[in-house]
Amino acid sequence: MSNNGRSLRPEKSSVAGNANGAQKEERPDAGMRALDHYKNKLPKWRYRLRQFFIPVVRWETHYLALAQENLRFPALDSYFALTANLGTHTFFMIMLPILFWCGYTSLGRALTSVLAFGVFWSGFIKDMLCLPRPLSPPLKRITMSGSAALEYGFPSTHSTNAVSVAMYALITLQQQPSSEFRYVVEYFSYFYAISIVLGRLYCGMHGFFDVVVGSALGALLTLLQTSYGELLESWLFEGTLRNPTIAILVLLILVRIHPEPADDCPCFDDSVAFAGVLMGVTMGSWHYAGSGFAWSLPTPATVPFNYANVGLIRACVRIFLGVFLIFAWRGLMKPTLLAFLPPVFRVIEQYGLDLPRKFFMRASQYKTVPALRKDDNVIPPASSIPTLITSLRNPRRRAVSVGPQSEADAYETLAYREKRRRESMSSQTGGRSSSTARPRIAEDPDEGPLLNSLRMTRDGDIQYSPVESSPTTVIVDERGLGELGGDGASDHRELFANLEKPRVRYDVEVITKLIIYSGIAWIAVEGAPILFELCGLGAL
């Protein structure tokens, strides 16, 4: 319980009023605790920003639901579910090392920079504002990622990634002579970015506001890279260790000031992973440039590669060996660090030097870190690759979900339901009829009667049809949540009890991710290229 008597978690709520029956203290009923969750958890300035943008998110829901209802088609479901993978962290973490190993070092470093900063800053904004995804229902969410729906919605990281990559490709192509190949790549870049952005709307994963701002962020990062990237690289390769050290310290400071979210959101984990990637690329490139193995042209630390000399078979062997090194490093270092770091963290904690974060258990609170599952949204363990491949066979059947999937979803469902209940009561008091509601959204034959209780009002909001025993009933989820009654406390308990519980996260995971992903980046830019030369897979 907090000092003002409010319960911060709905399942621990108590009846309003004190032992003497006094109820003059401003204290919300059960239905209002969802609204107070963010007020209690966030600093005032962040809460005010969130409240400023929340009406935009709710206003969009009506139009997104109508568009999805009219446009959904099985083939499109499969297409957008599959192509969404082309905007994920995992896809880029697989493709970026290949660029280095095939000699496209300048392109690889530039894309790594815009993508890493895109993931970091989009996650930074998500955790700062804590804005939910568009409400489901009425929207159906189509995604093959089990973690995507657990993140906040604003801005869209997929849109940031896609637009930054496409825009960088277009700017780079403008410097090349005209050719059929150039035009093909240009058209593909436009198609790729538009497809990913529209797909986030079609799949119900983001609203217009999310993708517009996400796209703008991606464009801004690309413009900064193309304008100042070469200047930053020349500063980095000046020769002394001071400059890369300064760059790494700046990255560590950014990780430290990453906002604390109000809910258990995995955005911070992804931001840490890509900060580690930048650290590894920075230090690895600087060291590789002076190793004697790298070419200095067309840019310092260029990985030697000549297709005419290497050939297709040796090029494929290089890629296979490099990927093997990455997964071997991850598989070896993860358990080693999770076993070695907790005792070190306990010593640090005794001297008050630890930097705890919400939702992360401190080392003094546990003895050992158990084997972690589904703890990495960027690079999965090698053992899960067959499952990932199998899931691609029928993306639509496995991807469609309706209802709250995270705490942020649940709080938004409760808060929005309370908002509509109060507006409905006010409307009835004023003598206005609710018969002006829009027609119900048609049922999806594949999903069942999930939306029977939902109506869309003319002002773009969602209204839940009244039920005799409870004027606040809402069909929430297809996974057994059923109908939520009018008792606010029981609504809260039932709704949150049916959410997938976030796993326990441990403080050592932050440093573990930084080390592992720094190592992955070092393997990509220095470790694997040196090994290629030593194993006879070099360019000469």
Q: Which of 37, 89, 206, 258 is catalytic?
A: 206
The question of whether 206 is a catalytic residue gets the answer: yes
Percent of residues, the chain, with pLDDT higher than 70: 74
Name the β-bridge partners of 467. 470
pLDDT in tens, 417-439: 777 777 778 777 764 444 444 43
pLDDT at 28 over 70: no
Q: List the structure tokens of 74.
A: 């099985």
Lowest mean pLDDT among 53-67, 269-283, 328-342, 475-489: 475-489
CB 236 within 8 A of CB 199: no
pLDDT at 448 over 50: no
Placement of tokens 């896609």 in the chain:
162
- pLDDT greater at residue 441 or residue 334: 334
pLDDT at 30 over 50: no
pLDDT in tens, 15-24: 333 333 333 3
Lowest mean pLDDT among 18-22, 129-133, 234-238, 478-482: 478-482
Q: Which long-range contacts (CB under 8 A, 24 or more apart) does 480-489 make?
A: 481/403, 481/404, 483/453, 487/30, 488/29, 488/30, 488/31, 488/33, 489/10, 489/13, 489/30
Placement of tokens 């870049």 in the chain:
189
What confidence score (pLDDT) does residue 459 get? 37
- Give the CB-side neighbour count of residue 395, counting CA atoms within 13 A: 21
- Sorting pLDDT into bands at 50, 70 and 90, what band is 486? very low
Q: Which of 37, 62, 158, 258 is catalytic?
A: 158
- Sorting pLDDT into bands at 50, 70 and 90, what band is 500? low
Mean pLDDT, residues 228-232 taken together: 91
What confidence score (pLDDT) does residue 390 get? 60
What are the residue ranges spanned by the domains of the chain? 51-382+501-535
- Looking only at the bridges linking them, the beta strands covering 400-401 and 141-142 are antiparallel
CB 492 within 8 A of CB 33: yes
* Total count of residues recorded for the chain: 540
Nearest to 100 by CA among 301, 275, 243: 301
The question of whether 62 is a catalytic residue gets the answer: no
Lowest mean pLDDT among 32-36, 468-472, 513-517: 468-472
pLDDT in tens, 329-375: 988 999 999 999 999 999 998 887 777 788 888 888 888 888 776 66
Contacts of residue 493, defined as CB under 8 A and 6 or more positions apart, other chains included, come to: 10, 11
Flag whether the pTM goes above 0.75: yes
Helix (H, G, I), strand (E, B) or coil at 260: coil
**CA–CA gap between residue 27 and residue 1 (Å, rounded):** 13
CB 431 within 8 A of CB 422: no
> What would the 3-class secondary structure string for 341-384 be?
HHHHHHHHHHCCCCCCCCCEECHHHCCCCCCCCCCCCCCCCHHH
- pLDDT greater at residue 382 or residue 419: 419
Lowest mean pLDDT among 20-29, 182-191, 483-492: 20-29
pLDDT at 236 over 60: yes
Which helix (H) or strand (E) element contains residue 239?
none
What confidence score (pLDDT) does residue 359 get? 86
Name the β-bridge partners of 13. none
pLDDT in tens, 506-534: 889 889 999 999 999 999 999 999 999 99
- How many distinct helices (H) and strands (E) make up the chain? 17, 6
Straight-line distance from the first to the last Cα atom of the chain, in angstroms, rounded to the nearest whole number: 68
How crowded is residue 96: how many other Cβ atoms within 10 Å of its Cβ?
Answer: 23
Mean pLDDT, residues 197-207 taken together: 92
Helix (H, G, I), strand (E, B) or coil at 91: helix
Q: Which of 156-160, 442-446, 482-486 is modeled with the greatest confidence?
A: 156-160
Phi-psi region of 536 (alpha: psi -120 to 50; beta: other; left: phi over 0): left
pLDDT in tens, 143-189: 777 666 678 999 999 999 999 999 999 999 888 777 888 889 999 99
Mean pLDDT, residues 268-289 taken together: 92
- Sorting pLDDT into bands at 50, 70 and 90, what band is 213? very high
**CA–CA gap between residue 263 and residue 133 (Å, rounded):** 13
Helix (H, G, I), strand (E, B) or coil at 248: helix
Q: List the structure tokens of 250.
A: 């700046």
pLDDT at 74 over 90: no
